[in-house]
């Protein structure tokens, strides 16, 4: 399976904003966007004004990288969103938010989506009491997300129990029980990234 193996911080610099790919590091002074907020490469400040296509492409790349997806998988979410009722762009973002690895990240089980994906892959997460190790699993309203019982005593979850993380309103989370519930489907206002999804729709519609 294809996998991005270069520096994550380079992706943030390329998109010109923090994508929070490195967890707590992104909130510290060590963050690359704090130390060197320029586009990677030679002569980053001499580039011409971006074309319409380039603007649309950058928006797609930003969202794709934030959620840690490659092109084929990202495009499949667009195709699925196009089949759904409502606005394609908002449907696509809702599908991305419903990924199990993103929900695990949103609930504070992991400091980044990449770390959350690893937790899911390693079988630490349960949905309705059953182990699910597929990061792309789409959660549904009413489902309960929790840490597998025999994994709950691990040191990595100690800080989670003591945390007071603020979760989006479509989620419910109880740190002491290491458990959360899907109260509703994510709405457009629940996203914390600055995303112009209509640009992605325009790009794929060409």
- Where does 99-184 sit in CATH, by number? 3.10.290.10
Q: What is the pLDDT along the chain (206 residues), one digit of tens a residue?
A: 455 555 555 565 555 656 655 555 555 565 655 556 666 655 555 566 778 998 899 899 889 988 989 999 999 999 999 999 999 999 999 999 999 999 999 998 988 898 999 999 999 999 999 999 999 999 999 999 999 988 888 888 888 887 778 889 999 999 889 999 999 999 888 887 788 999 999 999 97
Predicted local confidence at residue 107, as pLDDT: 92
Predicted local confidence at residue 111, as pLDDT: 87
- Prediction pTM value: 0.81
Each domain of the chain, given as residue ranges in start order, spans 8-40+49-96+194-205, 99-184
Predicted local confidence at residue 75, as pLDDT: 96
Which residues contact residue 83 at a Cβ distance below 8 angstroms, ignoring those fewer than 6 apart? Answer: none
Predicted local confidence at residue 1, as pLDDT: 44
The third-level CATH classification (topology) of the domain covering 8-40+49-96+194-205 is: Ribosomal Protein S4 Delta 41; Chain A, domain 1 (1.10.1050)
> What is the b/e burial string over 19-54, where b = at least 16 CB atoms within 10 angstroms of the residue's CB?
bbbbbebbeeeebbbeeeeeeeeeeeeeeeeeeeee
């Amino acid at each position: 399976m294809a996998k991005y193996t270069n520096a994550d911080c380079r992706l943030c610099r390329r998109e010109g904003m923090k994508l929070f790919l490195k967890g707590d590091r992104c909130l510290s002074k060590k963050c690359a966007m704090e130390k060197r907020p320029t586009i990677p490469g030679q002569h980053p400040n001499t580039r011409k004004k971006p074309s319409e296509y380039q603007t649309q492409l950058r928006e797609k790349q930003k969202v794709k990288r934030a959620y840690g997806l490659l092109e084929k998988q990202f495009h499949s979410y667009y195709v699925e969103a196009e089949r759904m009722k409502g606005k394609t762009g908002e449907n696509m973002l809702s599908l991305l938010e419903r990924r199990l690895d993103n929900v695990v990240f949103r609930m504070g089980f992991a400091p980044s989506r990449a770390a959350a994906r690893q937790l899911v892959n390693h079988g630490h997460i349960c949905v309705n009491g059953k182990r699910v190790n597929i990061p792309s699993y789409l959660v549904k309203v009413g489902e309960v997300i929790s840490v597998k019982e025999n994994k709950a005593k691990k040191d990595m979850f100690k800080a989670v129990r003591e945390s007071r993380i603020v979760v989006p309103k479509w989620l419910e989370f109880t740190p002491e029980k290491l458990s959360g519930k899907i109260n509703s489907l994510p709405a457009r206002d629940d996203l914390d990234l600055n995303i112009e999804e209509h640009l992605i729709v325009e790009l794929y519609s060409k």
